[in-house]
A and B are shown apart, each in its own frame.
Chain A
Amino acid sequence: MKKITMALTMIVAMSLAATVGCSNKEAAPTDGTGTPKAAEFNVSLRHINVRDTSKPHQDILLEAVKAAESALPGVKYELDGVEDTVNRDTKLKAEMAAGNPPIIFDLFGGPDTQNYQKAGHLLDLTPILADLGLSDKFINLGEFTVDGKVYGLPRSGYTEGVFYNKTMFADAGVAVPKTWDEFLAVCEALKGKNIVPIASGTGGPDGWVVNMIANSLFVREAGKEVQEGFVNGTSKWNDPKVIESFKKLETLKTKGYLDKSALALKYAEGQAKFYQGGAAMTMDGSWAVSAFEDKEKSKIAGNVGFFNFPEVGGPGDGYINGGFSNGYGFSNHANENELKGIKEFIKQYYTEALQKKALLTANDFPAMKLQDTSGTTGVLNEVLSVTNEAKGIFTAFDSVVQPKVKVTLETTMQELIGGKVTPEKAAEKMQKIQDEANAEK
């Protein structure tokens, strides 16, 4: 018993000593020159640069972090890399629900930003931007703006269109199609040569992939205003023009133009099928340029072309899908030090030099207005020129409609290309969910 008592006493004494040691405030440490060393503090930073193909983005982020750590003594940015879908759909949502998001985090514009702002978790960046002289430096902050205040900053912009394998097009003797009929003729010619016309990995959680095609189709058919119309009730998913767009998507599957494995593959697998030379075309965003032009992985690097989605004879012809929805948000629960860390990060990350670097090394569309955009090569040049030639840009539908509508369109389009629903039934189902979501406002 004595031994036990002694042991317990020792443990308590040691614990107390350790606690006292931790809280004992000694003289402030110096940096070696006699100048008092700044108190150290951490700032958590959630990013999504976890794939091999994200290395250029990661390098740019690290450069900015290093610069910020040098400029602001004491700060240490704790980087936390999470896969993009997991971050957006699971991790960040759970953190927001618990009210403890990271201090700096990857954020989507549109409904995500609106919801988190409404819950009071997003820092109003308007005064910081004014302070840093950045207020008018961005091309478009619309997707991160709520009631005139800015709650996030886009890293880059993007456009979506059709990437194609130039060799396969030449082998099949086809040219870049301008209209839907020409597009179908190209698909038929490729299929005749035993080439998979369109690669797509849209199975499981990646229903959004096929929606890049669906989105362009229903905007082509019904005009770019149709998206806002779904939310404010002026247009309907079961309008004949929207149904026609669903029919066109269905045609791609029934005629065997869309890869028959599309529903069994994930996004990265579908993308790989295209850059490994397993298909002639794929609908993707400009963010994919890095993967297509990566000489180590891509068999078609230097041999990729890009064209705007074909015209269908509707009011949305000539427009291109694009936006500035991927960026960083900042916690409204940051303390004084963390706020300094946020401000320094913004100052170092959102510079013309890094935006230019992102354009040249990561093939990122600049989110800021750049004086000099020279030096781009390969398919990125084509993406830039096709975007410049477009009649205008329309925002992706998922930046406009409510999250449940977005997810329902993903599963419904999977069902449509899987032959589980007709275009009419799909449209009805979408309108029902849209009505429910609109009623919840």
Chain B
Amino acid sequence: MNKVLRNPWAYALFVIPALLMYIAIYILPLLSSLQHSFTNWNGINEATFNGLDNFKKAFTDDKFWIAFKNNIIFVLFSAFVQIPLIIFISMVISGVTKNLNFYKTTVFLPSILSTAVVGTLWQFIYHPDVGLINQLLRACGLESWTHAWLGEETTAFLSILITNSWQWFGFYIVLLLAAIFSVPKELLEAAEMDGAIGFKRSWFITIPIIRPVILVIMLLAITGAMNSLDIVLIMTYGEPFGSSEVMGTYLYKQAYKFNDFGYASAISIIIFAFTVLVTVIFQWIAKRTEEVEH
């Protein structure tokens, strides 16, 4: 056995299949997108080289910037609304002594549903005529508060953000609960004896200890927000008037509705570059705060 492990070909045997797959489904499409981003191509006929035209178009395209702005809002919503709420709820649930598994299962349930199911389910909830929200409002005599939630500019994108949060809340909460329960009891007891109870204990003891998990969750939420596509396509298709468009849906439409695969490829490269940038900034901030704390 040791002989086998000393042979570099043995390692290659295990690594090469995965590497080939990675190249086939990630590297090659990326290079292909990069190549097509410099062309005028309808996806079917011959592509013609057009230099930086597609990138120039993206930077002067108002609708692309709306999509870009929405991605930023998506990220900020994830980082500053969704994550703090998740931490808060996790702390509350971790303090529950009775029926803990029931709460854990209940909050986790939405994340086992596919996005298509979640999107369709919430479409019913937001339905202007028979939707749960409008029916409740009407029952309370608040007819004037009713909206065509997914059909109005002011409410469509927010409705998606809420649905997306609902879907992923449980997944992140269960991750955080696992981290919270791994905090040594002796430490918490010692803190309690020193007077750190309730909010103080959470803020000064638990959160700093589970910080690595929080950072992972933030990274997942941010990259998820950057790559969001399915939930928007299902719920609003980026409408009304492009107000709920994100870069992913805009890319999709340019490719499959407008047959402009060259421009769509350029947008995909911009999304890639931007996601890398956001991730690097996030990692840098995470590292800096870690250094400061130490």
Q: Which chain B residues (117-156) contact chain A, with CB distance < 8 Å?
A: 126-129, 148-153
Q: Are A203 and B45 in contact (CB under 8 A)?
A: no
Q: Which chain A residues (286-345) contact chain B, with CB distance < 8 Å?
A: none
Q: Are A90 and B44 in contact (CB under 8 A)?
A: no
Q: Are B241 and A411 in contact (CB under 8 A)?
A: yes
Q: Are A420 and B241 in contact (CB under 8 A)?
A: yes
Q: Which chain B residues (225-279) contact chain A, with CB distance < 8 Å?
A: 236-242, 253, 256-261
Q: Are B45 and A119 in contact (CB under 8 A)?
A: yes
Residue of B148, B239, B240, B242 with most partner-chain A CB within 10 A:
B239
Q: Kindly state the separation between the CA atoms of A403 and B3 in the bound complex, as whole angstroms.
A: 63
Nearest residue in A to B255 (C-beta to C-beta)? A93
Q: Are B239 and A203 in contact (CB under 8 A)?
A: yes
Q: Which of A1, A119, A263, A407 contacts B240 (CB 8 A)?
A: A263
Q: Is A415 an interface residue when CB atoms closer than 8 A count as contact?
A: yes
Q: Which of B43, B128, B240, B257 contacts A97 (CB 8 A)?
A: B43
Q: Are A264 and B241 in contact (CB under 8 A)?
A: no
Q: Kindly state the separation between the CA atoms of A273 and B130 in the bound complex, as whole angstroms.
A: 11
Q: Which chain A residues (402-424) contact chain B, with CB distance < 8 Å?
A: 403-404, 407, 411, 414-415, 418, 420
B interface bracket (residues with beta carbon within 8 Å of A): 20 to 34
The smallest beta-carbon distance between A274 and chain B, in angstroms, is 13
Using Cβ atoms and an 8 Å threshold, which residues of chain A touch B257? Answer: 89, 403, 407
Using Cβ atoms and an 8 Å threshold, which residues of chain A touch B149? Answer: 264
Using Cβ atoms and an 8 Å threshold, which residues of chain A touch B241? Answer: 411, 414-415, 418, 420
Q: Kindly state the separation between the CA atoms of A89 and B43 in the bound complex, as whole angstroms.
A: 12
Using Cβ atoms and an 8 Å threshold, which residues of chain B touch A167? Answer: none
Q: Kindly state the separation between the CA atoms of A262 and B127 in the bound complex, as whole angstroms.
A: 11
Mask, A1-35, CB within 8 Å of B = 1, is 10010000000000000000000000000000000
Q: Kindly state the separation between the CA atoms of A308 and B257 in the bound complex, as whole angstroms.
A: 30
Using Cβ atoms and an 8 Å threshold, which residues of chain A touch B126? Answer: 264
Q: Kindly state the separation between the CA atoms of A366 and B44 in the bound complex, as whole angstroms.
A: 32
Q: Are B259 and A403 in contact (CB under 8 A)?
A: yes
Mask, B138-179, CB within 8 Å of A = 1, is 000000000011111100000000000000000000000000
Q: Is A54 an interface residue when CB atoms closer than 8 A count as contact?
A: no
Q: Kindly state the separation between the CA atoms of A116 and B128 in the bound complex, as whole angstroms.
A: 40
Q: Are A264 and B44 in contact (CB under 8 A)?
A: no
The smallest beta-carbon distance between A201 and chain B, in angstroms, is 10
Q: Kindly state the separation between the CA atoms of A154 and B234 in the bound complex, as whole angstroms.
A: 30
Q: Are A414 and B259 in contact (CB under 8 A)?
A: no
Nearest residue in B to A118 (C-beta to C-beta)? B45
Residue of B1, B4, B257, B258 with most partner-chain A CB within 10 A:
B257
Q: Kindly state the separation between the CA atoms of A273 and B44 in the bound complex, as whole angstroms.
A: 39
Q: Which of B43, B45, B128, B253 contacts A265 (CB 8 A)?
A: B128
Q: Are B45 and A115 in contact (CB under 8 A)?
A: yes
Main secondary structure of the interface of B (DSSP, over half): loop
Number of interface residues of A (CB under 8 A): 33
Residue of B236, B237, B256 with most partner-chain A CB within 10 A:
B256
Q: Is A74 an interface residue when CB atoms closer than 8 A count as contact?
A: no
Q: Are A278 and B1 in contact (CB under 8 A)?
A: no
The smallest beta-carbon distance between B241 and chain A, in angstroms, is 5
The smallest beta-carbon distance between B42 and chain A, in angstroms, is 7
Q: Are B242 and A93 in contact (CB under 8 A)?
A: no
Q: Are A404 and B259 in contact (CB under 8 A)?
A: yes
Q: Is A205 an interface residue when CB atoms closer than 8 A count as contact?
A: yes
Residue of A94, A204, A420 with most partner-chain B CB within 10 A:
A204
Nearest residue in A to B261 (C-beta to C-beta)? A97
Q: Are A1 and B3 in contact (CB under 8 A)?
A: yes
Q: Are A203 and B256 in contact (CB under 8 A)?
A: no
Nearest residue in A to B259 (C-beta to C-beta)? A403
Q: Kindly state the separation between the CA atoms of A411 and B237 in the bound complex, as whole angstroms.
A: 11
Given contacts A403-B258, A407-B258, contact A261 B129 (CB under 8 A): yes
Q: Which of A94, A264, A278, A420 contacts B151 (CB 8 A)?
A: A264
Mask, B36-74, CB within 8 Å of A = 1, is 000000111100000000000000000000000000000
Nearest residue in B to A196 (C-beta to C-beta)? B129
The smallest beta-carbon distance between B128 and chain A, in angstroms, is 4
Using Cβ atoms and an 8 Å threshold, which residues of chain A touch B260? Answer: 404
Given contacts A89-B256, A407-B258, contact A115 B42 (CB under 8 A): yes
Q: Are B239 and A93 in contact (CB under 8 A)?
A: no
Q: Which of B44, B129, B239 contacts A119 (CB 8 A)?
A: B44
Q: Are A204 and B129 in contact (CB under 8 A)?
A: no
Q: Kindly state the separation between the CA atoms of A90 and B150 in the bound complex, as whole angstroms.
A: 23
Q: Are B256 and A93 in contact (CB under 8 A)?
A: yes
Using Cβ atoms and an 8 Å threshold, which residues of chain A touch B151? Answer: 203, 261-265
Using Cβ atoms and an 8 Å threshold, which residues of chain B touch A94? Answer: 43, 256
Q: Are A273 and B129 in contact (CB under 8 A)?
A: yes
The smallest beta-carbon distance between B276 and chain A, in angstroms, is 26
Q: Is A191 an interface residue when CB atoms closer than 8 A count as contact?
A: no
The smallest beta-carbon distance between A429 and chain B, in angstroms, is 12
Using Cβ atoms and an 8 Å threshold, which residues of chain A touch B148? Answer: 260-261, 263-264
Q: Is A96 an interface residue when CB atoms closer than 8 A count as contact?
A: yes
Q: Kindly state the separation between the CA atoms of A356 and B253 in the bound complex, as whole angstroms.
A: 39
Q: Which of A1, A404, A415 contacts B1 (CB 8 A)?
A: A1
Q: Are B150 and A264 in contact (CB under 8 A)?
A: yes
Using Cβ atoms and an 8 Å threshold, which residues of chain A touch B258? Answer: 403-404, 407
Question: A263-B240, A264-B127 provided; 15 other pairs, C-beta below 8 A?
Answer: A93-B44, A115-B42, A118-B44, A119-B45, A204-B238, A263-B152, A264-B148, A264-B151, A278-B129, A403-B258, A404-B258, A407-B257, A411-B242, A418-B240, A418-B241
**8 pairs from A and B in contact (CB 8 Å cutoff):** A94-B43, A115-B45, A121-B44, A261-B129, A261-B148, A263-B148, A403-B258, A414-B240
Q: Which residues of A contact B (CB under 8 A)?
A: 1, 4, 89-90, 93-94, 96-97, 115-116, 118-119, 121, 203-205, 260-265, 269, 273, 278, 403-404, 407, 411, 414-415, 418, 420
